[in-house]
């Protein structure tokens, strides 16, 4: 007796009430509410309302397609909250028209019906009620603008196949606006755009959810919406999270980048956990749809509203990617799969974050302030940042400038530093930490510093999406059933990619092990193996996988905070010691927890090239050097008991000289464009990236500054950039 349609039949119709001049009679509403309590939903004590009146008297407006269960869910929610309940079909339309809705539709036809329905809703007025809208209300803009002002619009996002089954059982074969020859599936797909336009909060309904379960999700959604103050972020070095009075929200951490105490921001309450039925809904969605739903669950709607977040997600993951799948998963051999994260505009996995992060950053910017974004890079972060920020338009672009530590154009400048990534990242953190410098820039130029490296939460969060998406692709393609584990092997440098996989696991993706793969700069492998992080006397060695040529891994701080259950004192002590003494050792019990979460191994330069050659010979697939590092380590550490996904973080064309060497190709052209053409003719898969030729031609025309590895020199570059980019405050 738990299916939605059965519940609909059990609910007895109450006597409809009247409204005058569009205002519902309060005594009649109270009577209707009392009668709703008598409906036979459940005899459980859980139905007794213990909640305070929500939303300060505003309405809760339930929206969704026909068959979504709005009426039944509305009655349950109203019952739980002790609020009046209004069904627009019964209590507004039929009372206005003095006839059943079906009769009205038959008499005037679909187009006229939508107009008259909308006008009736425009005359509607109520407050402090649970209102179940009709499935066609959102098609009338004026009516929705009117009712939206009265409360919170909650979209019951029910799977179309579930709805079709319910409507079939209810013997409903056509809905408003469905013309002859248009299938129910097509009209529901068409209507979805209108629900997405008006929602404030989405309630994602899992396949087979009962009305009681959907109602509980609605109640939690309302509670979350009201409790914005609880959805805050803390520094990994915060000594006492519970006693901290500082309220730092998503919009704050996006703009600030680094916490004031030198730590990294993390959600105070961790990540939301998603149940299996909701994950299965996501399996049937496109990448931007998956991204939107997951980001909605992680970003409070009062920080970024649902409609704007949707616009950002679909702009970030659209025609700018060379693959419609955005981050497709391909079978490599045996139990190994490759997630191709290189289809973005700069052929790097960083596009998955940096096509979205600049939009979030611009959205969260406070008015009347300029921002200079500092980025340290040894690999392909720079080009990905440039691509992402260059897509901003209008005022947003004029208020942001970028300085990378090799390119200068518009609001961006790059500086080549005669050192390594660790020096550049250390310099940026020092700039953030010097109040004299940041104060001077703010007062003198009205400019604040921020960062687009993965120390910024808005850079890390979108990476959780593609790890989740890889698992969902394997489910969709029948490789695994939901709940069966996978391993993920990630070329690891700054630990952001690995950390985002840990967070995907926290949200409910069944990742068994995160395998961290290092090149011969194996600092992460040594740490995870021994618990000792030792930089003393250690020098960075150049490699053929430069994006992971890192010795000081910033996001490791977030990982230690995670495995230590949020011990900010421990994290602060460890990383202060690392700054001062270049060394720390974690306690033995903590090392055990680290090794439960992750494995780690490293790969020599020769083994990296050998793997590229071997895989190409066996499968025709050409890996880049970073993916080859992951392949070698996965071969050594993964036990073969479940699928393993190799994160392919860059297209092989970006590292053509190393790939030529691996494949033992002779007579290599000197022109980089010709090199790409020759490589493309060698590889049967993946295909050559469509934008790489253009990027190569443009890069040959760019100029950039080269400077010494001195802090004062880079501070001067920052100030010069600000002077060139923004008007000086007089």
Domains, in order of start, for the chain: 59-228 (3.40.50.300), 232-313+344-457 (3.40.50.1100), 317-341+463-700 (3.40.50.1100)
By C-alpha distance, which of 293, 274, 295, 273 is closest to 285? 293
Interval 658-679 mean pLDDT: 90
pLDDT at residue 576 tops 70: yes
Burial status of residue 610 (CB atoms within 10 A of its CB: 0-12, 13-18, 19 or more): middle
pLDDT tier at 264, thresholds 50, 70, 90 = very high
Hey, which bits of 148-235 come out as E strands? 151-157, 201-204, 233-235
The token pair at 175 is 């809905």
130-134, 172-176, 636-640: range with lowest mean pLDDT: 172-176
Element (H, E) at 254: helix 250-256
Give pLDDT, residue 697. Answer: 67
Contact criterion met (CB below 8 Å) for 233 and 197: no
- pLDDT by residue (tens digit) across 181-223? 999 999 999 999 999 999 999 999 998 899 999 999 999 999 9
The token pair at 239 is 């000594």
DSSP sequence for 3-71? SHHHHHHHSPPPPP--EETTEEPHHHHHHHHHHHHTS-S--SGGGS--SPPGGGG-EEEEE--TTS-HH
pLDDT at residue 404 tops 60: no
DSSP reduced 3-state for 346: coil
Give pLDDT, residue 3. Answer: 38
- pLDDT by residue (tens digit) across 273-298? 999 999 999 999 999 999 999 999 99
- pLDDT by residue (tens digit) across 345-368? 989 999 999 999 989 988 998 876
pLDDT tier at 49, thresholds 50, 70, 90 = very low
Model pTM? 0.87
The more confident residue out of 604 and 391 is: 604
Burial status of residue 453 (CB atoms within 10 A of its CB: 0-12, 13-18, 19 or more): buried
Distance CA 448, CA 216 (A): 43
- pLDDT by residue (tens digit) across 235-247? 999 988 766 667 8
Residues 6+ positions from 216 with CB-CB distance below 8 Å: none
Distance CA 212, CA 471 (A): 29
Interval 391-411 mean pLDDT: 58
Mean pLDDT of the chain: 87
Long-range contacts: 21-27, Cβ < 8 Å, 24+?
Answer: 21/123, 22/123, 22/124, 22/125, 23/125, 23/126, 24/84, 24/86, 24/91, 24/125, 24/126, 24/129, 26/84
pLDDT at residue 381 tops 70: no
pLDDT tier at 674, thresholds 50, 70, 90 = confident
- pLDDT by residue (tens digit) across 462-495? 999 999 999 999 999 999 999 999 999 999 999 9
- pLDDT by residue (tens digit) across 679-698? 888 888 898 887 877 776 66
Pairing of strands 583-585, 532-534: antiparallel
Interval 444-460 mean pLDDT: 85
Give pLDDT, residue 19. Answer: 35
| % of the chain surpassing 70 pLDDT | 87
48-57, 116-125, 268-277: range with lowest mean pLDDT: 48-57
Give pLDDT, residue 701. Answer: 55
- Give Cα 230 to chain centroid, integer Å: 20
By C-alpha distance, which of 374, 382, 254, 386 is closest to 309? 254
């Amino acid at each position: 007796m738990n299916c939605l349609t059965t519940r609909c039949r059990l609910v007895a119709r109450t006597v409809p009430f009247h409204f005058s001049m569009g205002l519902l009679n309060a005594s009649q509403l109270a009577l209707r509410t009392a009668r709703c309590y008598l409906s036979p939903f459940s005899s459980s004590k859980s139905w007794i309302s213990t909640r305070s009146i929500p939303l300060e008297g505003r309405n809760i407006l339930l929206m969704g397609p026909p068959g979504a269960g709005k009426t039944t869910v509305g009655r349950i929610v109203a019952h739980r909250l002790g609020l009046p309940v209004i069904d627009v079909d019964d209590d507004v339309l039929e009372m206005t028209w003095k006839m059943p809705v079906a009769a009205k539709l038959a008499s005037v036809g679909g187009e006229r019906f939508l107009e008259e329905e909308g006008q009736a809703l425009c005359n509607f007025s109520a407050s402090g009620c649970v209102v179940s809208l009709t499935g066609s209300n959102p098609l009338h803009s004026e009516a929705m603008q009117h009712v939206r002002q009265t409360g919170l619009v909650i979209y019951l996002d029910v799977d179309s196949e579930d709805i079709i089954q319910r409507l079939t059982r209810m013997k409903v074969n056509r809905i408003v606006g469905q013309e002859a020859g248009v299938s129910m599936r097509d009209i529901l797909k068409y209507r979805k755009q209108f629900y997405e336009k008006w929602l404030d909060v989405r309630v994602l309904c899992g396949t087979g959810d009962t009305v009681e379960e959907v109602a509980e999700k609605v109640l939690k959604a309302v509670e979350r919406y009201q409790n914005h103050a609880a959805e805050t972020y803390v520094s990994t070095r915060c000594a006492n999270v519970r006693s901290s009075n500082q309220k730092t929200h998503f919009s704050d951490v996006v703009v600030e980048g680094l916490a004031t105490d030198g730590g990294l921001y993390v959600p105070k309450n961790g990540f939301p956990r998603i149940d299996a039925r909701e994950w299965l809904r996501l399996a049937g969605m496109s990448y931007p749809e998956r991204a939107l739903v997951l980001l909605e669950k992680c970003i409070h709607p009062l920080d970024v509203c649902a409609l704007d977040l949707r616009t950002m997600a679909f702009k970030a993951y659209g025609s700018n990617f060379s693959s419609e799948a955005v981050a497709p998963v391909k079978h490599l051999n045996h139990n190994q799969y490759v997630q191709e994260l290189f289809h973005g505009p700069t052929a790097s996995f960083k596009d998955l974050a940096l096509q979205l992060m600049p939009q979030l950053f611009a959205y969260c910017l406070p008015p009347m302030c300029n921002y200079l974004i500092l980025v340290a890079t040894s690999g392909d972060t720079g080009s990905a940042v440039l691509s992402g920020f260059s897509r901003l338009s209008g005022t947003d672009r004029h208020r942001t400038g970028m300085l990378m530590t090799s390119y200068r154009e518009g609001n961006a400048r790059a500086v080549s530093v005669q050192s390594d990534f660790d020096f550049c990242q250390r310099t940026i953190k020092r700039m953030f930490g010097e109040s004299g410098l940041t104060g001077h820039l703010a007062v003198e130029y009205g400019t604040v510093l921020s960062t687009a490296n993965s120390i910024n939460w808005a850079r890390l969060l979108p990476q959780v999406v593609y790890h989740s998406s890889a698992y969902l692709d394997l489910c969709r393609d029948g490789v695994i059933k939901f709940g069966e584990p996978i391993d993920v092997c990630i070329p690891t440098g700054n630990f952001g990619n690995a950390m985002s996989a840990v967070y995907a696991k926290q949200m409910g993706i069944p990742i068994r092990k995160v395998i961290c793969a290092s090149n011969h700069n194996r600092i992460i492998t040594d740490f995870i193996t021994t618990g000792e992080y030792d930089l003393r006397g250690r020098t960075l060695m150049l490699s053929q996988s430069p994006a992971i040529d890192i010795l000081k891994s910033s996001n490791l701080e977030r990982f230690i905070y995670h495995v230590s259950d949020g011990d900010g004192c421990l994290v602060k002590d460890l990383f202060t010691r690392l700054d001062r003494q270049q060394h720390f050792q974690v306690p033995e019990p903590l090392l055990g927890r680290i090794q439960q979460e992750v494995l780690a191994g490293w790969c020599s330069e020769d083994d990296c090239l050998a793997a590229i050659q071997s895989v190409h010979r066996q499968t025709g697939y050409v890996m880049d050097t970073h993916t080859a590092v992951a392949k070698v380590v996965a071969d050594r550490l993964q036990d073969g008991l479940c699928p393993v996904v190799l994160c392919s973080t860059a297209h092989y064309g970006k590292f053509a000289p190393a790939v030529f060497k691996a494949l033992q190709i002779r007579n290599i052209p000197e022109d980089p464009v010709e090199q790409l053409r020759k490589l493309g003719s060698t590889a049967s898969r993946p295909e050559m990236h469509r934008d790489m030729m253009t990027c190569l031609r443009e890069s040959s025309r760019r100029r950039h500054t080269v400077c010494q590895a001195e802090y004062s020199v880079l501070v001067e570059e920052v100030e010069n950039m600000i002077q060139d980019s923004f008007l000086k405050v007089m």
